[in-house]
């Protein structure tokens, strides 16, 4: 046997080992190349407000007597999966000039600077910051920022959902302090004349929301 034969044999053995290793790794490499990318959570489905069936009302007390009003124009942008509420978002925009009490005197007064100052601050906006499940899969707490008359405050709104006939109804109520937003200035800042508490009630009918 010549001196070159062991060297040739070693080279042949190394080549065989390398070939076997490559052959073994190829399926793993191919699997890595063709594996599906990691799934990104899909955004919550968007729903659409049905304005004609929706309402936002508010009540305060003047000298102990309830005074109720309503907003006639508002829009809602909402994306919410009730089964995954944490990814939900909503933005409610209210045309404050649409506030009505049902009497010409109050309707003409509410938009003035000492009240809602509709000319300077035409919109009230609630922007959610978090949506949390509350109970039973149909109740939720929506935390967010309410901006009214140029002032923004943190609020938490309890919301109950019900579904029927392909529509979802979101309803609830909460209370704000009007003086936190400088609503009712001058003599009307006196809470013995007009209560500081304003109860807000809403029923928002939506189309296109995911099932509960």
pTM of the predicted structure, to 2 decimals: 0.79
Give me the phi and psi of 72, to 5 degrees please. Answer: -90, -20
pLDDT of residue 135: 83
Alpha helix segments (H runs only) across 35-163: 104-109
CB within 8 Å of 168: residues ≥ 6 apart: 47, 161, 162, 205, 206, 207, 209, 212
The pLDDT-based confidence of 12 (bands split at 50, 70, 90) is very low
For 160-185, how does the pLDDT look when each residue is reduced to its tens digit (9 = 90+)?
999 999 999 999 999 999 999 999 99
What is the pLDDT, as a whole number, of residue 30?
A: 41
Q: Which residue has the higher pLDDT, 58 or 10?
A: 58
Query: For residues 81 and 103, what is the distance between their CA atoms, to the nearest angstrom?
Result: 40
User: Within 13 Å of residue 47, how many CA atoms lie on the same side as its CB?
Assistant: 29
With beta carbons less than 8 A apart as the criterion, state whether 56 and 94 touch: yes
CB atoms within 10 A of CB 75: 12
What one-character DSSP code corresponds to residue 39? P
Has residue 95 got a pLDDT over 90? yes
- Predicted confidence (pLDDT) at residue 3 exceeds the cutoff of 50: no
- 66: which residues sit within 8 A by CB, 6+ positions away? 59, 60
Between the alpha carbon of residue 199 and those of residues 84, 128, 132, 151, 202, the distances in Å are: 29, 19, 22, 18, 10
Residues whose CB falls within 8 Å of the CB of residue 170, separated by 6 or more in sequence, listed in order: 159, 160, 161, 202, 203, 204, 205, 206
Digit-coded pLDDT (tens) for 15-52? 444 444 444 444 444 443 444 444 444 567 799 999 99
- CA 47 to chain centroid, in Å, comes to 11
Q: What is the pLDDT of residue 43?
A: 64
Tell me what pLDDT residue 42 has.
Answer: 54
Mean pLDDT for the chain overall: 86
- Distance, in Å, from the CA atom of 48 to the CA atom of 65, rounded to the nearest integer, reads 36
At residue 171, what are phi and psi to the nearest 5 degrees? -135, 160
pLDDT score, position 136: 83
What value does the mean pLDDT take over residues 136-140?
92
């Amino acid at each position: 046997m010549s001196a070159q034969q062991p060297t040739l044999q070693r080279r042949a053995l190394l080549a065989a080992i390398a070939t076997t290793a490559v052959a073994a790794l190829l399926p793993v490499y191919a699997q890595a190349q063709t594996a599906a990318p990691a799934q990104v959570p899909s955004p919550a489905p968007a729903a659409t407000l049905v304005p004609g069936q929706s309402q936002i009302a508010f009540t305060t007390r003047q000298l102990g007597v309830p005074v109720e009003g309503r907003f006639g124009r508002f829009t809602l942008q909402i994306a919410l999966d009730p089964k995954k509420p944490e990814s939900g978002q909503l933005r409610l925009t209210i045309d404050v000039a649409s506030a009505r009490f049902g009497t010409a005197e109050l309707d003409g007064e509410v938009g003035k600077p000492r009240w809602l100052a509709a000319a300077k601050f035409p919109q009230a906006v609630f922007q959610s910051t978090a949506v949390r499940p509350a109970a039973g899969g149909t109740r939720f707490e929506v935390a967010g920022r309410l901006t009214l008359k140029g002032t923004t405050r943190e609020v938490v709104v309890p919301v109950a959902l019900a579904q029927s006939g392909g529509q979802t109804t979101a309803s609830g109520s909460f209370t704000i302090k009007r003086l936190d937003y400088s609503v009712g200035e001058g003599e009307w800042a006196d809470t013995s004349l007009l209560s500081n508490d304003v109860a807000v009630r809403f029923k928002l009918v939506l189309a296109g929301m995911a099932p509960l």
